[in-house]
Structure 1
Amino acid sequence: MNATVGRVGKALIVLRERALRVGSFARRRPRLQWALKISAPADASGDLWGDVFFAHDLATALRSLGQTVHVDRYATRDRPVQRMRDDVVVHLVGLRRPEIVPGAVNILWLISHPEMVTEDELAQPFDLRFAASESWAKKHSAPGRPVLPLLQATDPGRFTPTRSGSEIASDVLFVGKTRAIFRPIVRDAIAAGADLAIYGDGWPDFIDPRFVRADFLDNERVPDAYRGARVVLNDHWQDMADEGFASNRLFDAVAAGAIVVSDSVDGVPVEFGGMVRAYGSVEELRALLDAEGEGDGDAGWPTPSERRRAAAAVAEKHSFARRAEVLLAAAVQRRRSARVRAPGGSRR
Structure 2
Amino acid sequence: MSKINNDVDILLEKDEKIQSEKKLTNSNKSKIINKIINEDYSNLTIAIKSPHLKGTKHWGELFFSKAIKKSFEKYGFKVIIQEREEWYNKEEFDIALVLRGELNYNPDYSKINIMWNLSHPTFISIEEYEKYDYVFIASKKYADKIKNKAKTNVNALLQCTDPDLFYPEKDENISDEILFVGVTRGIYRTIIKDILKTDHDVTIYGRGWEEFIDEKYVKGYFIPNDRLHKYYSSCKILLNDHWKEMIDEDFPSNRLFDALACGTFVISDKIPSADTLFEGSIVTYEDMDDLNEKINYYLTHEDERVKIAKKGQRIVLENHTFDKRIIEIVSTLKETLSNS
User: TM-score with structure 1 length normalisation?
Assistant: 0.80
Aligned to 2:295: 289
1:129 lines up with 2:141 in the alignment: no
Q: CA deviation at 1:42?
A: 2.2
Q: CA deviation at 1:166?
A: 6.0
Q: Residue 97 of structure 1 aligns to a residue in which SS?
A: coil
Amino acid at match of 1:211: Y
Using the alignment, how far apart are the partners of 2:305 and 2:222 within structure 1? 31
Counterparts in 2 of 1:103 and 1:179: CA distance versus 1, 3 Å: same
On the 8 A contact 2:53/2:84 being kept in 1, the answer is: yes
After the TM superposition, which of the residue ranges 306-315 and 89-98 deviates more from structure 2? 306-315
Aligned to 1:18: none
Q: 1:109 aligns with which of 100, 111, 116?
A: 116
Aligned to 1:78: 88
Q: Residue 180 of structure 1 aligns to a residue in which SS?
A: coil
On the 8 A contact 2:133/2:153 being kept in 1, the answer is: no
Aligned to 2:67: 57
Aligned to 1:30: 41
Using the alignment, how far apart are the partners of 1:215 and 1:166 within structure 2? 21
1:213 lines up with 2:219 in the alignment: yes
On the 8 A contact 1:38/1:94 being kept in 2, the answer is: no
Q: Residue 178 of structure 2 aligns to a residue in which SS?
A: strand
Higher Rg of the two aligned structures: 2
Using the alignment, how far apart are the partners of 1:130 and 1:151 within structure 2? 8
Aligned to 2:160: 153
On the 8 A contact 2:133/2:152 being kept in 1, the answer is: no
Using the alignment, how far apart are the partners of 1:289 and 1:236 within structure 2? 19
Q: CA deviation at 1:202?
A: 1.4
Task: State the structure with bigger RCO (CA 8 A, min sep 6), 1 or 2.
Answer: 1
Q: 1:308 aligns with which of 287, 307, 310?
A: 310
1:236 lines up with 2:247 in the alignment: no
After the TM superposition, which of the residue ranges 324-333 and 229-238 deviates more from structure 2? 324-333
Q: Residue 139 of structure 1 aligns to a residue in which SS?
A: helix
Q: 1:317 aligns with which of 316, 319, 327?
A: 319
Aligned to 2:28: none
After the TM superposition, which of the residue ranges 256-265 and 223-232 deviates more from structure 2? 256-265
Q: Residue 89 of structure 1 aligns to a residue in which SS?
A: strand
On the 8 A contact 2:98/2:114 being kept in 1, the answer is: yes
Q: CA deviation at 1:102?
A: 2.6
Deviations 1:273-303 (A, max 9, x none): 3331111211001001111137545xxxx45
Counterparts in 2 of 1:140 and 1:153: CA distance versus 1, 3 Å: same
Counterparts in 2 of 1:158 and 1:166: CA distance versus 1, 3 Å: farther
User: TM-score with structure 2 length normalisation?
Assistant: 0.82
Q: 1:262 aligns with which of 268, 275, 285?
A: 268
Q: Residue 47 of structure 2 aligns to a residue in which SS?
A: strand
On the 8 A contact 1:135/1:267 being kept in 2, the answer is: no
Counterparts in 2 of 1:107 and 1:28: CA distance versus 1, 3 Å: closer
For structure 1, the 5+ residue unaligned runs are 1-24, 339-348
Deviations 1:155-193 (A, max 9, x none): 1122123x3546732111000111111111111111112
Counterparts in 2 of 1:189 and 1:311: CA distance versus 1, 3 Å: same
Q: 2:51 aligns with which of 30, 34, 39?
A: 39
Counterparts in 2 of 1:333 and 1:33: CA distance versus 1, 3 Å: farther
1:246 lines up with 2:246 in the alignment: no
Amino acid at match of 1:290: N
Aligned to 2:26: none
Number of aligned pairs? 302
